Amino acid sequence: MILDKSTIVGVIGAGTMGTGIAQIASTYGHTVILYDISNEQLNQSKKALSKILERQVEKNRMTQNEIDGIMERIRFTSELSDCADCGFIIEAVVEDLSVKKELFQKLENLVSEDCILSSNTSSLSIASISSAFESPERFLGVHFFNPAPLMKLVEIIPGISTSNNVSQTVKELMDSWQKVTVLAKDTPGFIVNRVARPFYGEALRLYEEGIADAATIDWAMKELGGFKMGPFELMDLIGHDVNYKVTESVFKDFYYDPRFKPSFVQKRMVEAGRLGKKSGIGFYDYREGVKNPEPVTDRKLGDKIFNRILAMLINEAADAVFMNIATAKEVDLAMVYGVNYPKGLLKWADEIGLSFILDAMSALQIEYREDRYRPNPLLKKNVRNGDLFHG
Ligand code: NAI
């Protein structure tokens, strides 16, 4: 089974992710069928893509010829039957299990037997979508990050029934699209959306406890931690409705493990319609003329904030390895290329010293007596044996 440039790629859903994925596939020479039920959405997608590509010409990153080629290779359609000749399909429609299942049932009857089908879902299990298939061995998760053409990471998630051959073939195709791939188990949040939870969750907890305000926590994570954005800026950008929903679904899917408990502060923001940048106000006020509070740039406080959030992130990264979701190398790659972390979390732990992180977790656990702060067994074992995550 080979997927190469001659493979016609079907992208289902012409929203944010579908448009970006279609751009990538076309850039690498594939004919792309970009399908959506909404003609209006297809027009919007075409316009948005042209605008993005024209900017590349203005910046001398691409020639007019190249971008004409990219646009010509994409066929925007509202007829699902146009996908009949596709050799590889990526679904990126609304995050709704019944919509996705119905689509795959139709697609499976339409395409040839050797077509590989995949979903870009962030929060549904691959197993649950695969139940729609007669041949689930040809279906898997292929999870891109937003914006798909810029973020290098793709998580490849085989389901319980996916054949090894299919995962390998898709990995090779993603390699040919210059993506960094990691193989993840079909568990809630896969790698990135699981390991990144404390970046938001622990920041919100610090805020709720009144240890610092949003600006100060953001300052600590950027200035002392080297993160490109602080957690509150990032949540405001993602939108609290979206971020809260992911947190809530990860929490439920982990059978209410307190490590993933959502925050009341964020829930209230959603209820009040303070969704972040898109609604003009979130933790920060984006309305014209409004001046936001300055951070308290106290180094001692900053270290306390940064160390606590980093320890929680590393503990979570260790858990992903401990539970065989992915290897230490893959977890680190995922966080660097999926969410632009300044360093792989486990490499960071090796550098800082694992006992420093374990001490930070143990101190939190003793202080709060909450299961949320339990140190991961692999972290404990490595400290005991003097081992590193990257041996
Ligand atoms: P979006 O809302 O921008 O686009 C969804 C598109 O699906 C819309 O154009 C809509 O018209 C279309 N659609 C709805 N029902 C359809 C159907 N039955 N047939 C064909 N098209 C249909 O959504 P977005 O953000 O692009 O997300 C799509 C998928 O990608 C979701 O599964 C989401 O979880 C996942 N994802 C989203 C990321 C993000 O940051 N937005 C990141 C990674 C994955």
Q: Considering its fold, how many domains does the chain have in total?
A: 2
CATH number assigned to the domain comprising residue 221: 1.10.1040.50
Contacts of 357 (CB under 8 A, 6+ apart): 310, 311, 314, 315, 349, 379
pLDDT at 1 over 80: no
Q: Which of 36, 119, 234, 237 for a ligand 1 pocket mutation test, highest count of atoms within 8 Å of Cβ?
A: 36
Stated as kind and residue range, the H or E segment containing 119 is strand 116-119
Res 377: pLDDT: 98
Please give the average per-residue pLDDT across 71-90, as a whole number. 98
Question: Tens digits of per-residue pLDDT, 346-379?
Answer: 999 999 999 999 999 999 999 999 999 999 999 9
Mutate to test the pocket of ligand 1, among 21, 43, 122 (most ligand atoms within 8 A of CB): 122
- Cα–Cα distance measured from residue 252 to residue 380, given in angstroms and rounded to the nearest whole number: 27
Quick one: pLDDT band at residue 245, thresholds 50, 70, 90? Answer: very high
pLDDT for the residue 2: 87
Same structural domain for residues 148 and 103?
yes
Instruction: State which residues form the domain around 31.
Output: 9-183
Return all residues near 161 (Cβ < 8 A) that are at least 6 apart. Answer: 127, 130, 133, 136, 137, 139
Residue 42 sits in the same domain as residue 101: yes
Does residue 2 belong to any structural domain of this protein? no
- Residue 188 maps to a domain: no
Co-location of 352 and 276 in the same domain: yes
Among 159, 183, 207, the domain boundary falls at 183
Return the residue whose CA atom lies nearest to atom 11 of ligand 1.
38
- Counting Cα atoms < 13 Å in the Cβ hemisphere of 36 gives 24
Q: Which residue, by CA, sits nearest to atom 29 of ligand 1?
A: 92
Domain identity same for 130 and 178: yes
- Provide the CATH number for the domain around residue 81: 3.40.50.720
Q: What is the pLDDT of residue 373?
A: 98
307-317 pLDDT, tens per residue?
999 999 999 99
Look at residue 282 in the predicted model and tell me its pLDDT. Answer: 98
pTM over 0.85, yes/no: yes
Active site residues: 122, 143, 155, 193
Looking at the fold, whether 352 and 215 belong to one and the same domain comes out as yes
Examine the pLDDT at 197 and tell me if it is beyond 80.
Answer: yes
Residues 59, 134, single domain; the answer is: yes
Would you say residue 390 lies in a domain? Answer: no
Domain boundary among 156, 183, 210: 183
| pLDDT score recorded for residue 391 | 84
In a domain, 379, yes or no: yes
Beta bridge partners of 181: 154
Residue 95 near ligand 1, beta carbon < 6 Å: yes
What pLDDT is attached to residue 181?
Answer: 98
Structural element, H or E, at residue 116: strand 116-119
Check whether residue 82 and residue 150 sit in a common domain. Answer: yes
Query: What's the pLDDT at 341?
Result: 98
Q: Tell me the mean pLDDT in the region 279-300.
A: 96
To the nearest whole number, what is the mean pLDDT of the chain? 97
